[in-house]
Amino acid sequence: MNPLTRADLYTLEAYALEREAFRSRVIAHKRARKLHLGEHITLLFEDRMTIQYQVQEMLRIERIFEPEAIQEELDAYNPLIPSGANLKATMLIEYPDVEERRQALARLGGIEHRIYAEVAGHGRAFTHADEDMDRSEADKTAAVHFLRLEFSVDAIAALRTGAALHFGVDDPRMPLRIEADAMIREALLKDFD
């Protein structure tokens, strides 16, 4: 996928007019890009549309209209767009109760490095987590992480021909493995174009 440029963005005025319609499209688009790994981990797979929405919202909230400042936002968010050989995801560790969340984050240090994708017959692709900055320590982790999963050409070809796609957590603190459903598979296959 190509990175976003200023030409891809709405101006602040145009976005004010288009925001509700664009937001509705993005919400519908994200439904097919959300994967729950058990009760407490959610992966939101990013792509050009989800990142454009994030950038547009940042520009709107911060009232950014100077070309240099817009470019800074693009430079910050473009690395979250898949390159054609990978998937990019925002990982959320979710516990509704504040105290339970605090305790879980305190015991799950490094869990973001144990998330994987597995294409049948091609082994596991483990995450490259938080390449922009470290969000975890040995004894605790953050509630939000940014992940990259790299795939070989052969694994991508296998996915295109119907190979099963699993995601999981290879960690005794929270061992999980699930198969991606057809809707998620179809959405994620587009990230390899």
Helix (H) or strand (E) holding 129: strand 124-129
Please report, in angstroms and rounded to a whole number, the separation of the first and last CA atoms in the chain: 7
Q: Is 139 helix (H, G, I), strand (E, B) or coil?
A: coil
pLDDT tens digits, one per residue of 1-55: 799 999 999 999 999 999 999 999 999 999 999 999 999 999 999 999 999 999 9
109: left (phi > 0), else alpha (psi -120 to 50), else beta?
beta
So where are the chain's domains? 6-31+48-80, 86-192
pLDDT tens digits, one per residue of 53-112: 999 999 999 999 999 999 999 999 999 999 999 999 999 999 999 999 999 999 999 999
pLDDT tens digits, one per residue of 115-153: 999 999 999 999 999 877 666 666 789 999 999 999 999
